[in-house]
């Protein structure tokens, strides 16, 4: 079903579809997004496409230029570092709070997500691995039980998935080992260790991103 045949607000549907195309790499950084072509592909008029591009621009996925139109964003190294700094602060806090609050049901959910990710990694299903990565981090924040933290982290989740997908082939095996260590810390209720593991995990993701940028691979925002 294309957005033009679905019974939901078109702006939201088109935004979701275009965001998905960007995050999955179907539209890599630097790709020009032409309204007419997108409208034809999605089965909608140009107006919801134009509105969706404005939404994605406000989220940092798209750059709007007066003459070139919409282009998939490419974040500078300085902007990437700033975002990793924010991840470091928020995810380490979420891990600490999750270790304080997690019980057997919450630990079971985290463990199940890790198992799905492990199977997907072995099967080379990198899209599933990226989805599990997002789910795992969202579960940690949910378990943390802090509404303000949840509000701050939510806008970052898709951007984190964007960079994870770009590096999934090299990052996935290391990432899940780091997640397993975080799970153990949360299950043990060790707040300080959970916070330290989360910080180390983000530091490893930052290092991987920098290596990719140095090697010349196309990198989306983290």
Three-state secondary structure readout of the chain: CCHHHCCCCHHHHHHHHHHHHHHCCCCCCCCEECHHHHHHHHCCCHHHHHHHHHHHHHHCCEEEECCCEEEECCCCHHHHHHHHHHHHHHHHHHHHHHHHHCCHHHHHHHHHHHHHHHHHHHHCCHHHHHHHHHHHHHHHHHHHCCHHHHHHHHHHHHHHHHHHHHHHHHHHHHHHHHHHHHHHHHHCCCHHHHHHHHHHHHHHHHHHHHHHHHHCCCCCCC
Residue environment code for 73-101, b if the CB has 16+ CB neighbours within 10 A, otherwise e: bebeeeebeebbeebbebbbbbbbbbbee
- 163 with 143, same domain: the answer is yes
Query: Which pLDDT score, from 0 to 100, does residue 1 have?
Result: 43
- 68 with 115, same domain: the answer is no
Look up the pTM and report it. Answer: 0.82
Nearest alpha-carbon partner for 99 in 187, 201, 22, 220 = 187
On whether residue 68 sits in a domain, the answer given is yes
- What CATH number does the domain containing 148 carry? 1.20.120.530
Query: Which pLDDT score, from 0 to 100, does residue 215 have?
Result: 60
Residue 71 phi, psi (nearest 5): -135, 140
On whether residue 221 sits in a domain, the answer given is no
- 41 with 86, same domain: the answer is no
Query: Which pLDDT score, from 0 to 100, does residue 3 have?
Result: 56
On whether residue 147 sits in a domain, the answer given is yes
Query: Which pLDDT score, from 0 to 100, does residue 2 have?
Result: 55
* Residue 123, Cβ density class (10 Å: 0-12 exposed, 13-18 middle, ≥19 buried): exposed
Can you name the residues that pair with 71 across neighbouring β-strands?
Answer: 32, 63
- 181 with 199, same domain: the answer is yes
On whether residue 164 sits in a domain, the answer given is yes
Q: Is the dihedral of CA 119, 24, 20, 219 positive or negative?
A: positive
- 106 with 202, same domain: the answer is yes
- 90 with 65, same domain: the answer is no
CB atoms within 10 A of CB 23: 23
Cα 160 from Cα 205, distance rounded (Å): 10
* Residue 6, Cβ density class (10 Å: 0-12 exposed, 13-18 middle, ≥19 buried): middle
Each residue's pLDDT, cut to its tens digit, for the chain (222 residues) gives 455 544 567 889 999 999 999 988 899 999 999 999 999 999 999 999 999 999 999 998 999 988 778 999 987 788 788 889 999 999 999 999 999 999 999 999 999 999 999 898 888 888 888 889 889 999 999 999 999 999 999 888 888 888 777 766 677 777 888 999 999 999 999 999 999 999 999 999 888 888 876 665 544 433
Structurally, how many domains does the chain consist of?
A: 2
- 97 with 150, same domain: the answer is yes
- 200 lies in which domain range? 77-215
């Amino acid at each position: 079903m294309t957005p033009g045949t679905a019974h939901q607000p078109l702006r939201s549907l088109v935004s979701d579809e275009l965001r998905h195309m960007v995050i999955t790499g179907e539209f890599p950084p630097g790709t020009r997004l032409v309204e007419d072509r997108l409208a034809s592909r999605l089965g909608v008029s140009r107006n919801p496409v134009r509105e969706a591009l404005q939404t994605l621009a406000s989220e940092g996925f798209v750059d709007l230029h007066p003459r070139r139109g919409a282009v998939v964003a490419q974040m500078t190294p300085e902007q990437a570092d700033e975002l990793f700094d924010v991840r470091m602060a928020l995810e380490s806090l979420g891990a600490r709070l999750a270790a304080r609050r997690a019980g057997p049901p919450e630990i079971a959910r985290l463990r199940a997500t890790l198992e799905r990710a492990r199977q997907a990694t072995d099967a080379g299903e990198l899209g599933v691995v990226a989805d599990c990565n997002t789910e795992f981090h969202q579960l940690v924040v949910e378990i943390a039980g802090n509404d303000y933290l949840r509000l701050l982290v939510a806008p970052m989740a898709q951007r984190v998935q964007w960079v994870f997908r770009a590096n999934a082939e090299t990052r996935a095996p290391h990432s899940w080992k780091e997640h397993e260590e975080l799970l153990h810390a949360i299950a043990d209720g060790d707040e300080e260790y959970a916070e330290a593991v989360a910080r180390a995990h983000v530091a490893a993701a930052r290092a991987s991103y920098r290596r990719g940028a140095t090697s010349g691979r196309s990198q989306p925002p983290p």
